[in-house]
Amino acid sequence: MAPSTLTIDPPGLMDSRPTFSHVATSLGDNVRFICTAGQVGSDAQGNIPSDRTEQIQLALANLRRCIEAAGATVKDIQKLVYYIVDYDHTRRDHFLPLKAFLNGHRPATSLVPVPKLFKPGVIFEIEAYLAVPQRSPQNVDVVVVGAGLSGLSAAHQLQEAGFSCAVLEARNRVGGKTWSVDATDQGKFVDVGAAWINDTNQSEVFALTKALGLETVVQNTTGRVVQQDIDGKVSTFVYGDVPKALSEPGGAQNMLDIRNLTEEVCQKLDVHHPVRIGDDLDNMTLEGWIVSNGGGKTALASATVWTRAMLGMEPKDMSALFFLNYCKSGGGLMQMRSDLKNGGQYLRLVKGTQSLSIGLAEQLKPGSLSLDDPVRYIEQSPSGLHVYSAKGKHTCKRVIVSLPTPLYKDIVFSPALPQDKLELSQANKLGFINKVLVRYPSPWWREPGLTGMLQSFTGPVSVTRDSSVDPVGSYSLTCFVAGDAGRALSTLSKAERFKVVTEQIKATLGVAAKVNIPEPTGIEEHEWAHDLWAQGCPCPAAPPGTMTKYEHALRSSHGKVHFVGTETAYEWKGYMEGAIRSGKRGADEVIRALNLAKL
Amino acid sequence: MAPSTLTIDPPGLMDSRPTFSHVATSLGDNVRFICTAGQVGSDAQGNIPSDRTEQIQLALANLRRCIEAAGATVKDIQKLVYYIVDYDHTRRDHFLPLKAFLNGHRPATSLVPVPKLFKPGVIFEIEAYLAVPQRSPQNVDVVVVGAGLSGLSAAHQLQEAGFSCAVLEARNRVGGKTWSVDATDQGKFVDVGAAWINDTNQSEVFALTKALGLETVVQNTTGRVVQQDIDGKVSTFVYGDVPKALSEPGGAQNMLDIRNLTEEVCQKLDVHHPVRIGDDLDNMTLEGWIVSNGGGKTALASATVWTRAMLGMEPKDMSALFFLNYCKSGGGLMQMRSDLKNGGQYLRLVKGTQSLSIGLAEQLKPGSLSLDDPVRYIEQSPSGLHVYSAKGKHTCKRVIVSLPTPLYKDIVFSPALPQDKLELSQANKLGFINKVLVRYPSPWWREPGLTGMLQSFTGPVSVTRDSSVDPVGSYSLTCFVAGDAGRALSTLSKAERFKVVTEQIKATLGVAAKVNIPEPTGIEEHEWAHDLWAQGCPCPAAPPGTMTKYEHALRSSHGKVHFVGTETAYEWKGYMEGAIRSGKRGADEVIRALNLAKL
């Protein structure tokens, strides 16, 4: 029997152990009741703004996060209770933030002036009681958890094979980390998530692109790349070449040697059995491996550009084996990093990569897809396989979970995941990438002979690329703010972040172009690490020892529950290609099992 | 899909907009969870008693109102939290009021001393969390909302025609504004609501009376009527005649002229198309029409007696067309005001008029009627027509709503009511009538030659009538305290109100009778305007312009939802006769539609 109440601790809130959870929700067929802990204006680190209004706004943002985590909305709030220190009925500084938060909804409410709250400095606390209506219990062959590219691909293949399928998505949109934003509503999409494909070795994603009739543009590689050295000095080199005059003596050659060694060693790996010949590589971090192979400051800075742009992490954060196998999954470091034909960044889509997900979703049978519907409990019991999501319960024959491994913790599995799979999910870490998209009225970098690409050994922007879509007159630079530099920048306000990014563009591309840079027409970003349903981007990485211990558990199913996601792909891990391939692999597993069960 | 949470603002509480509601209730099939906002001892105008006990009692009364509005009872309370300013554990001044409120029920409770509450002077706030069990979802042909005479008549006719029918009633009794109280438990009923019928032109209600075998008594019209003039002077005239010696020079004749004009003009109206020839009459108030036709102070005072007793309003509150058409619906002013054969007040029922409703309800198929079950949400969707009430959900083919138009706001319609119907319901207003029933050991007014009727141009009692039921030894005077005078008296305490009423009886009937009036044996009243499910009495009235704009929307259905109620009758609006006729009209509409659907 399912438990009556599930507790949830949404990431991004202060640690609630050992005495409470931030959210409690009942499980039921008709209405779920949800209550939250009192939320205060504190970030995950316990920092509390001294300004009363800011603190109230942060408390409300935290409450919203709790509500979202439970698969509910502000409209589902039945009751609010808030506690105010130094309450003054002539001031009522909670009123405007609360009004904005509620946006017309009027739950039953109590206001409680109190002499103090749980910690000095806290002047506002708010708790909510909510109810979410439940559809009647559903029966399907397969439930797919997550409507990113892997989940949608699995569902599509399952329905093609004649199986009924429900896709439950936590977000209010499909696409997962394919998310194309059209801020100006003029068809000028920018990809705040996955952006590039190719038409040769990424056969699945290109086939889907063709099948959906989506228009592509070739990544601009004409001109010179701007190099920002470890001392901040700016130089340029022709795209495809390597920087030569760098400040560290011998640094340029050392960097080249490490790059070549990386390529050579990764090519020796068998993506189907990476651990067999790589046990030694899994004993050390990528940084340790580079240093032990004579890599100096410049070589390490160059590797940092790779890991930041590819995984949102530092070379110290991942096992050498993990990184090398990751490269190999995309055909090797050189191919994965390349913007040319056959490279990882060769083509983009005019309408953005989310159009792949939207296109797949539109091909699903009507009623298959449920948005705003996070799954929190999966039960395999004698009475069957049951999936409890925000809006109800599905009983099914198989489940496909398409979440990154570190997010398995957000679903309660009954029985629990096997130990190895559980430990794998705890060991793998998600990186930090914020792709800041700076939109310009024109591609001002081209006339002075630049590709729009920056490679910076100082940061905080590690890499930029020209992400213009010329046919629709959309011009932009994609700025990768990632890894430790990205996390540091993230502590600033949005306005401050954007200022730092545009200043760095001026100081690098601007200086090299020797032109006055026009003012941006707009800036988009998405901090995936703070996204409740991503918690990082693009793909988890494994610290030393993890692959040796748990690689065998990466794709293993748990009873009738199967696992997909781009990190589980053999080829093009972390890319959309890997997502689609993993989804099809999961669908194949399920189809085989269900067909076998028919015999 | 139905919303998860409905909010309710019971009338009579302080305005909760824009950030909260007084009650929130979930919609669901098994248990509804309900929470209230913190309730304080404030009236709707924000007045807060300074006495702590009075304030606590008012807070509890407000909480009870919230609970009743949600279709729950004190017994359904799961949890209470109350907040007390200047809490003194040796005093506990909340204890006795709370104990009386709970009446043996012991919900989970928290007492929270606080330094202050939301507003200076507020010393007590209390909130409740409740659960109401839900019956399993029901399927019926028709749901009737409201078990007053119109709703019961509709249901009866539908069941006679072979359709299954559920009648959902918010109150814990049937009858709506037919409510017969037997305070002494001796079969001496007094009607605090509708009281009179006739046996000639009120064919429906008389047929029902006969069918149910109910005993009638003829209204006493023997003797002299007491007239209290605009200067307070008391005189008498024989019933059926008109007062002559009035203080305003020419006032008696002027009053007679206006009465005759009213009768003449109203007789020209066609109740089926009142607006056609009455557009000019709808441009002005009844007061304006009287004044523009030369009516003086006395004539206006006389008209005020009519509108107070007939609609609980002042001549300035309604359009002239509305009043004239209202009169015409009862055969004209003279017939409607008459207590004689064919008149509006010719007969009463020995067991009170509620016996009509009780009799009808008893003829319904067992299980058809659900009490304490207010409807709050009516949804017409592709999945069907669903009615959500306090105790569960009905799916049906048609709905009949038998509420006064101004109460439509208390039901959420999805889709919303059409704009014209919505505006009509907002434009129509309910009057204030408190029928104070003063019971005496004997009909002391008869021996001195009085009918027991008073007509007062000063008030606060505008009209009295002998409401005795001689066969059971029940003697009483019905005192109409209505309109502005009624509302003013309503601000006094019950004891003060009764004192004012009995003093006026002494000063008018008593003076005219020249006898010592015996002490009343009891007094009953009901302030219909403060009744959650009536909000006024007997029937809404329309201010100028409303009929011209919206008369066409008065009886129009909204998709599969039909509307009845005495105000929608063509004949005997505001009377029980009109209620029954409107109920039958609604049933006819539904039967036609359902039979058509069968073809």
The domain spans of chain A are 5-133
Residue A10: its pLDDT value, please?
65
Residue A2: its pLDDT value, please?
47
Give the CA distances from residue B253 to residues B235, B244, B246, B295, B369, in Å, rounded to whole numbers and listed in that order. 16, 8, 10, 10, 53
Residue B3: its pLDDT value, please?
64
Strand pairing partners for B561?
B399, B558
Q: What are phi and psi of A404, to 5 degrees?
A: -60, 145
Token pair of A245 as six digits: 């005059």
Mutate to test the interface with B, among A25, A31, A82 (most CBs of B within 10 A): A31
Give the CA distances from residue A55 to residues A23, A58, A88, A121, A124, in Å, rounded to whole numbers and listed in that order. 20, 5, 16, 10, 7
**Exposed/middle/buried for B186, CB within 10 Å: 0-12, 13-18, 19+?**
exposed
B19, B27, B120: residue with CB nearest A89: B120
Count each helix (H run) and each strand (E run) in chain B, helices first. Answer: 16, 26
Token pair of A591 as six digits: 């189809």
Classify each residue of B548-576 as buried b or exposed e, where b means 16 or more C-beta atoms within 10 Å of its C-beta.
bebbebbbebbebbbbbbbbbbbbbbbbb
A114 chain-B contacts, CB cut-off 8 A = 114-115
A31, A104, A110: residue with CB nearest B125: A110
Partner-chain contact A113 B115, CB within 8 Å: yes
B32, B37, B81: residue with CB nearest A108: B37
Q: A with B: how many residue pairs have Cβ under 8 Å apart?
A: 116
Start-to-end CA distance of chain B, whole Å, equals 30
Q: How far is B31 from chain A (nearest CA, A)?
A: 8
Contact B481, B462 (CB under 8 A): yes
Mutate to test the interface with B, among A111, A123, A130, A134 (most CBs of B within 10 A): A111
- In chain B, which residue's Cα lies nearest the Cα of A75? B5
Nearest to B566 by CA among B312, B306, B329, B319: B329
Partner-chain contact B1 A131, CB within 8 Å: no
Q: Chain B residues within 8 A (CB-CB) of chain A?
A: 1-5, 7, 16-38, 81, 83, 112, 114-120, 125, 127, 129
pLDDT tens for chain B, 599 residues: list them.
556 666 777 777 777 777 667 777 666 557 778 888 899 998 888 889 999 999 999 999 999 988 988 888 888 888 899 999 999 999 889 999 999 998 888 888 889 999 999 999 999 999 999 888 788 889 999 999 999 999 999 999 999 999 999 999 999 999 999 999 998 899 999 999 999 999 999 999 999 999 999 999 999 999 999 999 999 999 999 999 999 889 999 999 999 999 999 999 999 999 999 997 666 899 999 999 999 999 999 999 999 999 999 999 999 999 999 999 999 999 999 999 999 999 999 999 999 999 999 999 999 999 999 999 999 899 999 989 999 998 889 999 999 999 999 999 989 899 999 999 999 999 999 999 999 999 999 999 999 999 999 999 998 999 999 999 999 999 999 999 999 999 999 999 999 999 999 999 999 999 999 999 999 999 999 999 999 999 999 999 999 999 999 999 999 999 999 999 999 999 999 999 999 999 999 999 999 999 998 87
Classify each residue of B10-19 as buried b or exposed e, where b means 16 or more C-beta atoms within 10 Å of its C-beta.
bbbbbebeeb
Partner-chain contact A110 B38, CB within 8 Å: yes
Contact A79, B19 (CB under 8 A): no
Q: What whole-number distance in Å separates Cα of residue B556 and Cα of residue B420?
A: 10
Strand pairing partners for B32?
B132
Residue B21: its pLDDT value, please?
73
Give the CA distances from residue A504 to residues A18, A474, A520, B322, in Å, rounded to whole numbers and listed in that order. 44, 21, 13, 76
Residue A1: its pLDDT value, please?
39
Binding site membership of A: which residues?
150, 169-170, 375, 480, 567
Strand pairing partners for A33?
A131
Fold of B5-133: 60s Ribosomal Protein L30; Chain: A; (3.30.1330)
Residue A115: its pLDDT value, please?
96
Residue A276: its pLDDT value, please?
78
Residue A32: its pLDDT value, please?
82
Start-to-end CA distance of chain A, whole Å, equals 30
Q: Sign of dihedral through CA atoms A373, A376, A380, A384?
A: negative
Partner-chain contact A108 B3, CB within 8 Å: no
Q: What whole-number distance in Å separates Cα of residue B253 and Cα of residue B536?
A: 34
Mutate to test the interface with A, among B9, B13, B20, B127 (most CBs of A within 10 A): B20
Q: Residues of chain A whose pLDDT is less than 70? A: 1-14, 16-29, 277-279
Tell me the HSE value of A430 on the side-chain side, using a 13 A CA sphere: 25
**Exposed/middle/buried for B1, CB within 10 Å: 0-12, 13-18, 19+?**
exposed
Beta strand A190-191 with A180-181: parallel, antiparallel or unpaired?
Answer: antiparallel
Residue B598: its pLDDT value, please?
82
Q: How far is B66 from chain A (nearest CA, A)?
A: 11
Residue position matching structure tokens 């995984």: A311
Q: Extract long-range pairs of B531-535: CB within 8 Å, 24+ residues apart.
A: B532/B10, B532/B11, B532/B12, B532/B65, B532/B68, B532/B69, B532/B170, B533/B170, B533/B171, B533/B176, B533/B374, B533/B407, B534/B176, B534/B177, B534/B404, B534/B430, B535/B11, B535/B404, B535/B406, B535/B407, B535/B430
Residue A597: its pLDDT value, please?
87
Token pair of A108 as six digits: 């039953």
Partner-chain contact B116 A113, CB within 8 Å: yes
Mutate to test the interface with B, among A112, A114, A126, A138 (most CBs of B within 10 A): A112
pTM score, whole prediction: 0.88
Q: How far is A32 from chain B (nearest CA, A)?
A: 9
